[in-house]
Structure 1
Amino acid sequence: GTLAYQWQREGEDLAGAQTSILTLSSTTASDGGSYRVLVSNEGGVTTSAAANLTVHTPPVITSQPVGVDLSSGDLLRLSVTATGTGPFSYQWQFNQTPLSTQTAATLEIAAVSLGEAGQYRVIVTSPGGTVTSASAVVTVQPIQVANPPAILTHPASQSLAPGVTLELKVTATGEGPLHYRWQFNGFNIPGASQDSFTLGDAQPADSGDYQVVVSNAGGSVTSEVAQVKIVEGPSILQGPVSQTVQAGQQMVLSVEASGTPPLNYQWRYQGFNIPGARGSTFQIDSVQLIDAGTYQVVVSDASGAQVQSLPALLEVVTEPVNTSRITSVQLSDGGLLIQWEAKEGRVLQAKARLEDAIWRDIPGSEGQSESRQALLGNATFYRLLDR
């Protein structure tokens, strides 16, 4: 008799599938499964063995390799992500030439070289087909090697008196960052890592050779040695004294000092060196109002150490003034001994700052010839007044 057919998928009848041949057009992954056919006639029904259908979908790249800009020696890493029916195989290419060792989803070159700059792509293969990624451009720059630093100004040798502050400085140039390491007699000084080194209250034990090592990525350079001597320097026996002088009159300042000869002198006005003023005395033959201010002298000896006098105040007035002068200023018993020629009505006055308007009498000084004042650490200005 006549045979009838009914195709089934996963045990369910397929509509319209009633011929001896089953044709599926435009199959997709969802068409996969177990197929069989039921054949019947007047005598009964028989069922075929099951046939399993697997539909392979072609690979699709969902994440392309991305180009990078590297320096020679850097790690090169490129990767690709694909979907579809697996398993997948990968073949990376460099400028369209297969790389035999690069057959994974991620390409890695531990230390890329200049010759490995170019275009990279990967061919992805699966049971569903083959797809080629977009090209990723890799650039490789040569390593920029820094030049070692250069020292422009070396730390200077110096001689100082005990108790003063030692200051050393270096000036260097080069590709940063620059690093500094100061050394004393060849050994690193802990914490001394700036372009300058400061040591307060220097003592003779701090005498020696100082140098600094300056470094960067390109190397290092060591400065010249600065020889530092902490020695007992000169002392001022009698410093310059403050004066009040009428404009147009002569003004003379003097200092008496001791130390290892020869002694050198440098007079200063308002904190600045006076050119050519290098003797134990300094004078202005015709004082003008502009000359008013504070004067000091720096004394140095053969050891190179130096000491600076206390400031002496010069007041310049337009009216005649008395000629009384302080004759001696000395350090004595931790204080300041000021002496002058005694006279009835003559009194010692003082003020702490030049801008103070009022001179104040020193108690007990009127009619006397001397006064002992405590050293308070700040400058004090003194004068004599005849009443």
Structure 2
Amino acid sequence: MRDCQLDGGTVWVAGGFTHAGGDSQRSLAGLDSGTGRVNWRGPIGFVGPVTAVAAVGEQVYASGLWRFSNGETAQGLVALDRQTGQSTGWEHSLDGWSADLLATGRALYVGGDLQRVDTQVMGSLVLFPPVGFPSIESITPDLIVPPGNPVRLEAHVNGQPILRVQWWRGGEPVPGATNTVLSFPSLSAAGAGRYVLVAENGLGRAVSREVQLQLAVPASIVASPVGMTMIAGRTATLTVRVTGSPPPRLQWSHNGIQIAGAVDSTLTLTNLSVGDGGRYSVIVQGGGVTLESAPAELVVFVPPLGLVNQYAARHITNSVRGVGRGNNIGANTEPGEPLHAGYRGGASVWYAWRAPANGTAVFSTRGSGIDTVLAVYTNAIPGGPVGALVPVASDDDRGGFLTSLVSFDAHAGVEYEIAIDSVDGTTGNIVLGWELGAAANLSPRIVLPPIATLSSPGGVATFDVTAVSSSPMRYQWFHNCLPIPDSDSPRLSIPHVRLLDVGRYHVVVANEAGSAQSLPADLVLVDGFSAPQKGPIASDKMVDLIATGVSLAELDRRGFLRPESQVYFDTFSATKDLDEPNHCRVRGGASKWIPFRVTQPQSVVMSTEGSSFNTTLAVYRFDGGGYRGLVPVACDTDSGEDRRTSVASFDAEPGVSYFIAVDGVDGATGLVKLSASAKPLLGRPSIVGGEYTRMRLWGTPGQAYLVESSLDLFTWTPLLVTNAVPESLLITDRSPVLSSGLKFYRAVEAGR
């Protein structure tokens, strides 16, 4: 026996025994003080010796080797019901041994070698409040909230009997604040301060830690970075000055592409190269606002090149290597001029190069300050017009930071015509560099890369590549940069397309001399609308949808997202384009664009519920002219049921082209489920406390709706009829939650 205690007519005994008072009883028992017979039996949860026991009121406290309610076996401290002998649910794990217990009506004292209790480091004596004593398990952390934004302070409180709670601010009780949630519909200076929650009952009181509710000062840009011209090899320092509370978060970008790790007020670029040139800007986020600085143009000095707008007036060189600068300000396109790299462009300039020898030529626009496209041609008629050009190579973004790079086999004495344009007719500084390698490139050359592919669930998707080589070629396909087993042919076939197959695909073609990698192509899963199998529907750049020489009528033929349809796509490796807006004034960095149209006036709800990451969702009307032609219609960041996904509603008009942008907060990426629904729309149902179901209804303001439920999608039972709703309304079904979890809901206009 390790311990005993007399309490009334019962002697409580603890130890490592297997029998007590002549009866079989293990480790813990209560004996009648007169007869010595067992009159109380402990639970079967003890698996080792009980080291100490104490009884007070309706509880019997014991310490020993105990199998907890979660199945774990550990040295523990438990409270048992004096009447039933079963655990009351009050359990604590011990690292060490308790030598003695002393229980009073107000507390339990535990003495011994107590190195740790639960996760807290302890010592030789620990005081536990009695079972039912008030405790505040969690409370909202300190918050800094923009003026006018809603905010709520919330605490999780335990204790029996029923607790009384009161919020306090600055030493004074907050009038009417007697719930565990304290809400502010619109925070002002009058609501800011330091708050504590006091919870009490007949056993005592608990006071929370202090919560500081601070009014944010919106971020402001005091001074944008300043452009400069530098010599290669030197160091350039760009600086932005900002104010705000808390200190705003910063992110530098180069030609609109975020620079990894560049989050300080100063950006230092050492040992400058020509490719470091371009437009630099800073996204500033804080206090509920997101701003972007004016761009600063960094020019790394190279000599003028003589780029010209008219093809017939182009300058020609035959140097092995070179680099120079120019611009396309005031440029346009000529009749008969091809679409460079397939883009409509609109502000092209020309140069010409006669190869001095055979070899591999590489041309790039690295260091330019616009989103370039680069194309190389020969002319079918020596000295012929622009309409007689024959394509050799072209590119959009292989140069990095929205610049272009091409390589091709050059033949001595052949004149190659070089065209530089922007994807959407934007004008600015251009850098053109080139170099001729000593030998011809015998590696494979990809003639036709794979094309974006659309599939319905369970369908078949295919990607094809066409490459040429003077020796046998090998193929390896990749999905989101991971190699696909047994994908060793120019065609990749994906039978029975699933959600896991959505993403980016590319192929590496190799021979004995080297390899070539294709541009990526997306596999997009579509449901609820018809679209051809090939062609973009979710694009990294909006201009990829509108600036590739495709008319809106052609986009109509390809297929727009429409109401009652949805599309699944991946934003893996997506970026933000130059001049692209910050959607919902939130810092993103990994956006994709989807066209949308309706055939009749409709109230539409767009939703990313079911997506795998924290999204922003923006709807724009497109009036032409690239990003400058976007007119904001609706946007949202966190109205989804999980408070991470987005829901936006708007009234759509027939004949209007809308573009939907989905981005990730702080550049987050993942799988997107984008749904387009005509109102009304019910959000994803969620079970609250295991007792009832809750969901949000989006509808047309002023319209009443009938909400129904079903167990089989055939028989529908009315749940409620709403009054004229605002734009959204929280709906609760308080009928018992089914163990199967299968229950369906729908909403229709009342009276239909």
When normalised by structure 1's length, the TM-score is 0.33
Larger radius of gyration: 1
Structure with bigger RCO (C-alpha 8 Å, 6+ apart): 1
When normalised by structure 2's length, the TM-score is 0.18
